[in-house]
Chains A and B, each alone.
Chain A
């Protein structure tokens, strides 16, 4: 049994999101509700994508087609959840025990982004994790041993990216920064299409580009949320 492999990959992919959840979400019921709602909206986008995939019979084998439309649906639902959250702000303000959630608009963006990311990462990995519990590993019929680890790392980057994208996206929508919105959609598309290269086992290339984009997006999100080089410096130097 390769239970160690199973737990190793689970920890890699869901360890950081779990830590985020524990420290920043779990102690506020409103945030938990918003997280779940966001996850539900991601599932709706998946449902639409799959319906489209199912309806367009001749293109079922063409992964690119599905990928492109899936990304577009996800971004649409990101916008929908943005509209919903903004329109329910008054209500949230009334029920929330912690007023920071409505005072600081980035918190809602961050929570809904994490919800998006978590369910997306879960769907990406869960059927692989199910196969991981068996006695075997990849490699008999093609594929490499590190396939599972690579998938887990990839899933982690998707979770983080979704979180960052939502922060940037919500902020851009508030301020009508169309360039940032198009960056979110564009980088999402790029990352998704990059994973198609995994069929050629170009794991190093895709992971490298993926994480470069993740870090870049992270920096953008950091700035959007109010961070700056100065504050980062102060954080590092413990001032």
Chain B
């Protein structure tokens, strides 16, 4: 009857879901686990990442503390399939491949837990040669000419395991929260971690992970299946990786284009641009985790600060020795996946569609580019090199300028930038330009690789040693060289970013003006402090507020996601970058009132005081979608452009529960069948001889049919 009362409750839950409540048996059986799943991506030839089975993969929890625990699971699993809980220091290439080889019958789920993470010495899931199959390639082979994958210590990511580019037959779930990890460990200790011989005979604590991926094989197959004509429905199996790159010019362009004409667009050859670029995005193996602090944020911070510094130092464009010169800053999105942003940029420039017609200015072509300065990874600023393919006077000259400021006692940066000429250039956006034309004047600033957490979930504020100073001082104005040392010690991250930014900005200043920079103002480390806080700790920060419209909703108290994602993804980082460029790289227009400051390029921003100010902005978005998805009948296997797509999925979830043993299941079923058979026999006999049983009733009135033989 208690059950009947429960059913009464259920009855009403159906009727009045909003008012009533009820506890189902299910709630007692399952405990959800919060984490991040590894998902599937596809390129022209392969699929990488993980997927669960359609109904969810189930495995018995097993805590792995040392490698011997894994050996035990792989050699003599008492009750497979298992779900090993692996701490980060054992999440290695070798171990994962062993698990993969064992197959889903033995290992059905892998959990990465945040335990013993102090033992971890490295954790990079990127290849030894990031973007190995794009950029500058060896002749007739689709492999990078700029990096030797067979010699990891000499590669661009010596600690890379390449796990990001492996295809796993089981889901991998990352559990960041220590409490969730503890829940798992407790369940394992309580139900599993004793008497392993009887594992097959008793109920065990198990985990179920649901992360089924609908795409498979490769991008070609998946795009064909997604094509409406083929599948006669609106099912999507995968989406191309797609985001937005952000660009801005130092001076507003003065090269209008007549929109009304139907004639092809033509280039204004008088314009000259110095291209200053960096990477906006990062990636990791797990959905929504990974800040890319060292692998890309340092370069991005530097670019932003260089732009800000140059904007404040330089005189108006008209008073430059060559008044047609300008600087174009670009933050490319999707560079982690075969240079999506820069490939598209090059493609658009070749086809004279950059910038878009809607900007009402003439297209920019390669003729307009004077040279390109690409800011790569800056792992160790004492060891930065200026990479070029061949020795050119331009490179030598620029290096001299850089070192002039880097070693100048006036500023006390005490840095020395080396030159590195040769085919071994770092995997940065410049490769897309050099691939089109090896003569392209590209200079790449890149430090010797020292990041043991390249493209990983642990490349965070701790990895770069960032601690927010939170000084509430003016971070927008330039600062005197003597004052800049007051807030941070010389080894602080903020100082490093500011110093490199100053050096680069001064060198560009000298290139543009033809005069040495002799001022005392340098980049403000407080701006670096605010910038890094926004991107590493919380988007609800001063700098983002200052660059937004006054009173607009503040960002989430989480760092913005910097993975490129797909169309309809969050695109947070490019949105914030757009606003930052609009604030840091724009000219104040104090004479324009708020009501007149509504049409681009005029833009009303909150400013450092939050009171609002009018700015003449230059920034704009640009699609970062690989040209492969624009070209009709593109050969997906050609390797010419990035072909990365992301599989669609319906849900990511994980829960733990007790998995009944086979013995228990079979016993229950057997009892059921026995009861069924006995009752059939018994009732047949009773029914057939009912007149004997109920003999008080006259035979003609017998309740049941006539007897048969006993």
Do A128 and B25 have beta carbons less than 8 Å apart? yes
Do B657 and A16 have beta carbons less than 8 Å apart? no
**Nearest CB of A to B532, in Å:** 43
Partner of A154, one of B3, B16, B58, B670: B3
A50 to B10, CA, bound (A): 10
Known: A12-B672, A104-B697, A235-B693. A136 touches B5 (CB 8 A): no
Closest to A156 in B: B675
A2 to B25, CA, bound (A): 15
Known: A127-B25, A199-B2. A231 touches B7 (CB 8 A): no
Closest to B697 in A: A226
Surface stretch bound by A, among B212-220, B349-357, B679-687: B679-687
Do A103 and B692 have beta carbons less than 8 Å apart? no
A 91-121 to B, binary, CB cutoff 8 A, 1 in contact else 0: 0000000001001101100100000000010
A231 to B690, CA, bound (A): 10
Which residues on the A side are within 8 Å of B55 (C-beta)? 1
Do B657 and A225 have beta carbons less than 8 Å apart? no
Do B11 and A140 have beta carbons less than 8 Å apart? no
Do A140 and B8 have beta carbons less than 8 Å apart? no
Count, chain B residues at interface, CB 8 A: 67
A84 within 8 A of B: no
A71 to B693, CA, bound (A): 31
A149 to B675, CA, bound (A): 12
Do A195 and B1 have beta carbons less than 8 Å apart? yes
**Nearest CB of A to B423, in Å:** 54
Partner of B29, one of A50, A63, A140, A192: A140
Do A23 and B683 have beta carbons less than 8 Å apart? yes
Do A70 and B29 have beta carbons less than 8 Å apart? no
Known: A123-B4, A226-B697. A11 touches B673 (CB 8 A): yes
Do B8 and A50 have beta carbons less than 8 Å apart? yes
Do B8 and A5 have beta carbons less than 8 Å apart? no
Do A124 and B7 have beta carbons less than 8 Å apart? yes
Do B695 and A124 have beta carbons less than 8 Å apart? no
Which residues on the B side are within 8 Å of A54 (C-beta)? 12, 16, 20
A80 within 8 A of B: no
Partner of B658, one of A107, A136, A158, A235: A136
B 646-675 to A, binary, CB cutoff 8 A, 1 in contact else 0: 000000000011111000111111111101
Closest to B21 in A: A60
B556 within 8 A of A: no
Known: A226-B695, A231-B696. A140 touches B664 (CB 8 A): no
B487 within 8 A of A: no
Which residues on the B side are within 8 Å of A196 (C-beta)? 1-2
**Nearest CB of B to A44, in Å:** 12
B 1-41 to A, binary, CB cutoff 8 A, 1 in contact else 0: 11111111111100010001000111111110000000000
A63 to B208, CA, bound (A): 34
**Most chain B CB within a 10 A radius of its CB, from A15, A53, A128, A196:** A15
Question: Which residues, 353 to 375 on B, are CB-close (under 8 Å) to A?
Answer: none
B 447-474 to A, binary, CB cutoff 8 A, 1 in contact else 0: 0000000000000000000000000000
Partner of A137, one of B1, B660, B682: B660
Known: A4-B665, A154-B3. A23 touches B684 (CB 8 A): yes
Do B672 and A104 have beta carbons less than 8 Å apart? no
B205 within 8 A of A: yes
Partner of A235, one of B2, B25, B683, B692: B692
Partner of B30, one of A46, A103, A134, A191: A134
**Nearest CB of A to B45, in Å:** 35
B703 within 8 A of A: yes
B165 within 8 A of A: no
Question: Which residues, 225 to 265 on B, are CB-close (under 8 Å) to A?
Answer: none
B701 within 8 A of A: yes
Which residues on the A side are within 8 Å of B634 (C-beta)? none
A 187-203 to B, binary, CB cutoff 8 A, 1 in contact else 0: 00001110110110000
A196 to B28, CA, bound (A): 18
Which residues on the B side are within 8 Å of A9 (C-beta)? 668, 672
A230 to B692, CA, bound (A): 10
Do A226 and B694 have beta carbons less than 8 Å apart? yes
Which residues on the B side are within 8 Å of A137 (C-beta)? 29, 203, 657-660, 664
Which residues on the B side are within 8 Å of A127 (C-beta)? 6-7, 10, 24-25
Which residues on the B side are within 8 Å of A209 (C-beta)? none
A238 within 8 A of B: yes
A230 to B4, CA, bound (A): 38
B93 within 8 A of A: no
Question: Which residues, 33 to 56 on A, are CB-close (under 8 Å) to B?
Answer: 46-47, 49-50, 53-54
Closest to A98 in B: B705
Question: Which residues, 20 to 79 on A, are CB-close (under 8 Å) to B?
Answer: 20, 22-24, 46-47, 49-50, 53-54, 63, 66-67, 70-71
B206 within 8 A of A: yes
Closest to A154 in B: B3
B704 within 8 A of A: yes
Which residues on the A side are within 8 Å of B703 (C-beta)? 100, 104, 106-107, 110, 225-226
Closest to A141 in B: B28
A239 to B27, CA, bound (A): 55
Partner of A71, one of B1, B24, B206: B1
**Most chain A CB within a 10 A radius of its CB, from B6, B208, B679, B710:** B679
Do B11 and A50 have beta carbons less than 8 Å apart? yes
Count, chain A residues at interface, CB 8 A: 81
Which residues on the A side are within 8 Å of B702 (C-beta)? 100, 104
A 74-90 to B, binary, CB cutoff 8 A, 1 in contact else 0: 00000000000000000
Which residues on the B side are within 8 Å of A235 (C-beta)? 689, 692-693
Question: Which residues, 200 to 234 on A, are CB-close (under 8 Å) to B?
Answer: 222, 225-228, 230-232, 234
Which residues on the A side are within 8 Å of B6 (C-beta)? 127
Which residues on the A side are within 8 Å of B669 (C-beta)? 4-5, 7-8, 11
Do B683 and A24 have beta carbons less than 8 Å apart? yes
Do B683 and A136 have beta carbons less than 8 Å apart? no
**Nearest CB of B to A131, in Å:** 5
A64 to B692, CA, bound (A): 43
Which residues on the B side are within 8 Å of A5 (C-beta)? 660, 664-665, 668-669
Closest to B655 in A: A136
Which residues on the A side are within 8 Å of B31 (C-beta)? 140-141
Do A136 and B659 have beta carbons less than 8 Å apart? yes
A234 to B31, CA, bound (A): 57
Partner of A140, one of B12, B30, B665, B679: B30
Which residues on the B side are within 8 Å of A49 (C-beta)? 8
B68 within 8 A of A: no
A173 within 8 A of B: no
Which residues on the A side are within 8 Å of B666 (C-beta)? 4
Which residues on the B side are within 8 Å of A135 (C-beta)? 56, 58, 206, 208, 657, 659
Partner of B24, one of A20, A23, A124, A131: A131
Closest to A199 in B: B2
**Chain A interface residues (CB < 8 Å from chain B):** 1-2, 4-5, 7-12, 15-16, 18-20, 22-24, 46-47, 49-50, 53-54, 63, 66-67, 70-71, 100, 103-104, 106-107, 110, 120, 123-128, 131, 134-143, 145, 147-149, 151-152, 154-155, 158, 191-193, 195-196, 198-199, 222, 225-228, 230-232, 234-235, 238-239
Closest CB pairs A-B (n = 7): A192-B1, A136-B657, A11-B672, A8-B668, A15-B676, A8-B672, A16-B679
**Chain B interface residues (CB < 8 Å from chain A):** 1-12, 16, 20, 24-31, 55-56, 58, 187, 191, 203, 205-206, 208, 656-660, 664-673, 675-676, 679-680, 682-684, 687, 689, 692-697, 700-704, 710
List, sorted by A's number, 22 A–B pairs whose CB atoms are closer than 8 Å.
A1-B55, A8-B668, A9-B668, A11-B676, A23-B684, A23-B687, A70-B8, A103-B700, A103-B701, A107-B703, A123-B4, A131-B29, A136-B208, A136-B660, A137-B203, A137-B660, A143-B28, A192-B4, A226-B696, A228-B695, A231-B694, A235-B692
Besides A8-B672, A140-B31, A147-B25, 14 other CB < 8 A contacts?
A15-B675, A18-B679, A53-B8, A63-B2, A104-B702, A124-B3, A124-B4, A136-B658, A140-B187, A141-B27, A141-B28, A145-B203, A227-B696, A231-B695
